[in-house]
Amino acid sequence: MSNLVITIDGPAASGKSTVARLLAERLGASFLDTGAMYRAVTLAAIEAGVDMSDEEKLLGVLETGEFQFVVKEGKMAVRIGGVDVTEWIRRPEVTAKARHIASSAKLREKLVRMQRQFAAGEEKIVTEGRDQGTVAFADADVKFYLTADAGERARRRLAELRARGGGEPRPSDGLGESFEQIQKAIEERDKSDEDRAVGPLRPADDAIVIDTTDLGIEEVVEKVLRCVKEKCLKRKSKMRWFRFARWCCRVFCNLFFRIQVYGRENVPDEGAFVLVGNHQSYLDPVFCGIPLERPLYFLARDSLWKNRFFGRLISSVNTIPVKQGKADLSAMRKVIGKLKEGRGVCVFPEGTRSIDGRISPFKPGFGLLCRRGEAAVVPVLIDGAFECWPRHKKIFSRGRIDVCYGKAIPAGEVANMSDRQLAELLTDTLRRMQTKSRIKHGKEPYDY
Ligand code: C5P
């Protein structure tokens, strides 16, 4: 799993490839040029004589082609079937036809998956393209959006062509002869990138936008590096704070409760997982989270943020606010993003604390998060929290709490279940775990 993901998006010739490469070099990070992936599939399709408007055939090209993307001497080398095509994918015909690949939802989905797989194997990565901060790595640590006015970008492209071709660009370069034609071609690519329905070119809401029109490459790299360092410092102190907060919670729980933990080994050491628990008290997120070394993300109703101090406090320990009474797509996207990064999320699908200690049937909505986040699902039973802090009491009392992590359901199995099936299976599993736990502690089991 990557420890640092930096995304750089932006239009053609905005300088993002060069900046991304130099930044990766300075940070000792890997570098992913996602445009090269779109170009490689385009080249393979052209070579295979595939009709560029036939999406299924293009998909076939992507699935059967042996594409290899490797970083070589700071540059991304591309091989198809073992042949180095790094230079070929820059051919004007490829540039012009890449939009067919870029506008297909199915192809984009597959390419984004490949990009995430690539990143998952790297400790630090700088990835550049059009949708890296908005789609592929919506939860990246630092996001940039580089832009420049079209005239300046055309000037840069012209200089690049002259340097490469050793003279004036020819019509066969595909970009036209004149500066005006180059600018027009760039503007057309911008429009096609911005207007497509899937993964359109736009800055992520939390991206740092840098206009490079009047800046040299070195100045941009320096600026970007400064932002990354600031963000990393903030991240480090956030991590330290999280560990401290968890330590405080552990001390607090040891003072007031006797917590017994079972099945900790059922929680995966790595990869995405959703911890699905029964909800008995306000302290359940703490009970589920403190036995684990891996940090968890939580969801909570947004009204808890009305008190600004409390809101900041729970945000600082990975709690994501969810609007009540409606489908909060932005919160869902955040959670799916965390899962796609391979993190753990804890949910309580009863929706509210139990009124009598019983487990009510789970609301099926969480199934979508698990499937879209390609996460394993781990049931977690909390027993004893209702006795310590039932919802009708203002303050908790001391007592024994059992936290039992059940067997994980692998992501592959979750993918084949409907939301309802998953919700029923987990309700049933947790009720059985609860019955067993209550009998073990000499408590009357609930009648379901
Ligand atoms: O960046 P580059 O010019 O190499 O990208 C080639 C094409 O691939 C672009 O015109 C763009 O439409 C597409 N692309 C994309 N999403 C990305 C990267 C590139 O749609 N993440």
Q: What is the mean pLDDT of each run of 10 residues along the chain (448 residues)?
A: 87 93 93 96 96 96 92 82 93 91 96 91 93 91 96 90 60 60 90 92 94 95 96 90 96 97 96 96 97 95 94 94 88 90 93 95 95 96 97 95 98 96 98 97 94
Nearest C-alpha to atom 16 of ligand 1 is from which residue?
130
Question: What was the pLDDT predicted at 168?
Answer: 46
Is the Cβ atom of 90 under 6 angstroms away from ligand 1?
Answer: no
> Domain 263-440 maps to which CATH number in 3.40.50.510, 3.30.70.120, 3.40.1130.10, 2.40.30.170?
3.40.1130.10
Is the Cβ atom of 131 under 6 angstroms away from ligand 1?
Answer: yes
Q: How are strands ordered across the β-sheet holding 67-72?
A: 67-72, 75-80, 83-84
What's the Rg (C-alpha) of the chain? 26
| Ligand 1: nearest atom to the Cα of 34 | 18
Domain limits, CATH 3.40.1130.10, in the chain: 263-440
Question: What was the pLDDT predicted at 157?
Answer: 86
Question: What was the pLDDT predicted at 409?
Answer: 98
| Ligand 1: nearest atom to the Cα of 89 | 4
Question: What was the pLDDT predicted at 165?
Answer: 63
Distance 130 CA to ligand 1 centre (A): 6
Tell me how far CA of residue 346 lies from CA of 149, 260, 275, 292, 370, in angstroms: 45, 19, 5, 12, 11
Residues constituting the chain: 448
| Ligand 1: nearest atom to the Cα of 17 | 1
Distance 165 CA to ligand 1 centre (A): 22
Distance 196 CA to ligand 1 centre (A): 12
CATH number of 4-234: 3.40.50.300
Is the Cβ atom of 11 under 6 angstroms away from ligand 1?
Answer: no
Q: Which residues contact 266 (CB under 8 A, 6 or more apart)?
A: 378, 405, 406, 407, 408
Domain limits, CATH 3.40.50.300, in the chain: 4-234
Provide φ and ψ at 404, rounded to 5°: -120, 115
Question: What was the pLDDT predicted at 68?
Answer: 93
Please say whether the beta carbons of 278 and 355 come within 8 A. no
Burial-class residue 381 by CB neighbours within 10 Å (0-12, 13-18, 19+).
buried
